[in-house]
Amino acid sequence: MKTPVYIAVTGAAGQISYSLLFRLAAGLFLGPDQPIVLRLLEVPQAMKALQGVVMELNDCASSLLHRIEITDDPRVAFKNVDYVFLIGAKPRTAGMERKDLLTVNAQIFAEQGRALNEVASRKVKVLITGNPANTNALIAIKNAPDLTPENFTCMSRLDHNRGISQLAEKCGVFASDIKNMAVWGNHSASQYPDLHYAKVKGQDALPLVGEDWFKNVFIPTVQQRGTEIINARGQSSAASAANAAIDHMKSWVFGTADGDWVSMGVLSDGSYGIEAGLVYSFPVTVVGDAINIVKGLDINEFSLQHLRQNELELRQERDEVRSLC
């Protein structure tokens, strides 16, 4: 058996974690021969509920799950960890936008950034899922000056997967037939799911589906999917978010497939004119340990407007939490 790796999950008694943890224990992230130790972080009021989750995890009798440790102290949770899922944060409810969560959630990511800075492995891979994910990631980065921004990414993979699923359904193909989906910008209603480079079984997607469907159906459907789920379920997406978190981390750890890319929120390096220092979703490839923003894509006027709108929104979010980042 390999040496166990340490995975920390915050918000471990919450609804996303309730889908995520069982997938981790089943080997769906690191594979069927990699034992894991789960470090589960919660607030003190949720410790009893978390103990229930731990009982259920134990009852799965997973031979990959080496040990479970629970704590309400981020410095204990993050000590020497290899992988961190920062999920614990308040979700929005009907009628709210994700940025309305900024003042409630920002402090969590400042504190957890500081804790990661102090105790996490210098090679730690941290995925920020809690909303508003891009700006929370920026806050965590700024509060972890002894780690590098490359230690942190935020999740736009759910939007990426939503885009793939919509396109596959429209074209009557499998999700695996779709390549080169791109989601740009903020994980908000302004996000720009972009089909200009997407391929369906090797063919350009746009001529297949038409500009009208792209602009008037596809974009708003993907942008509003989170809201639609809240309106239907009364709670925000959870199982699909857990699934996307695993997809994201697998791409980060094992790399992207040849000729394809994924969407991730990373610190902008100024690519495509996006202000350096904002956490922005780009199409990326992962090779070895490096996440590379896909360069040199043609951006037409329509796309440019969307890219700029997202940049502006992320600047405004950052300016709202200037004291934390």
Q: 277: helix, coil or strand?
A: coil
CA distances 239 to 40, 175, 292, 299, Å, are 18, 18, 28, 33
Q: Does 131 bind ligand LMR (CB under 6 A)?
A: yes
- What is the x/- site pattern for ligand LMR, positions 266-305, by CB under 6 A? ----------------------------------------
Backbone angles phi, psi at 83, to 5 degrees: -135, 140
CA distances 285 to 82, 256, 264, 269, 289, Å, are 21, 6, 9, 15, 10
- Pairwise CA distance, residues 285 & 314, whole Å: 23
| Shortest distance (Å) from residue 190 CB to ligand LMR | 13
| Comparison of 237 and 285: residue with beta carbon closer to ligand LMR | 237
Q: Which of 187, 196, 248, 306 is catalytic?
A: 187
Q: Does 163 bind ligand NAD (CB under 6 A)?
A: no
**Options 98, 99, 142, 199; binder of ligand LMR; rule CB under 6 A:** 98
- What is the x/- site pattern for ligand LMR, positions 137-176, by CB under 6 A? ---------------------x------------------
Radius of gyration of the chain (CA): 19
Which residues 6+ apart lie within 8 Å of 166 measured at CB? 218, 221, 222
| Comparison of 195 and 222: residue with beta carbon closer to ligand NAD | 222
What's the first-to-final CA gap in the chain, in angstroms?
42
| Comparison of 109 and 261: residue with beta carbon closer to ligand NAD | 109
Q: Which two tokens stand for residue 57?
A: 């995890």
| Shortest distance (Å) from residue 82 CB to ligand LMR | 25
| Comparison of 30 and 230: residue with beta carbon closer to ligand LMR | 230
**Options 92, 170, 250, 306; binder of ligand LMR; rule CB under 6 A:** 92
Active-site annotation holds for 187: yes
Q: Where are the alpha helices (DSSP H) in the chain?
A: 15-25, 47-58, 74-77, 102-119, 133-142, 157-171, 205-209, 211-213, 219-223, 225-233, 239-254, 301-320
Q: Does 88 bind ligand NAD (CB under 6 A)?
A: yes
**Quick one: which segment of 27-35, 55-63, 126-134, 202-210 binds ligand NAD (CB under 6 A)?**
126-134
Name the residue type at position 118: E
Q: Which residues bind ligand NAD (CB under 6 A)?
A: 10-11, 13-16, 41-43, 46, 87-92, 108, 129-131, 133, 155, 158, 187, 236-238, 241
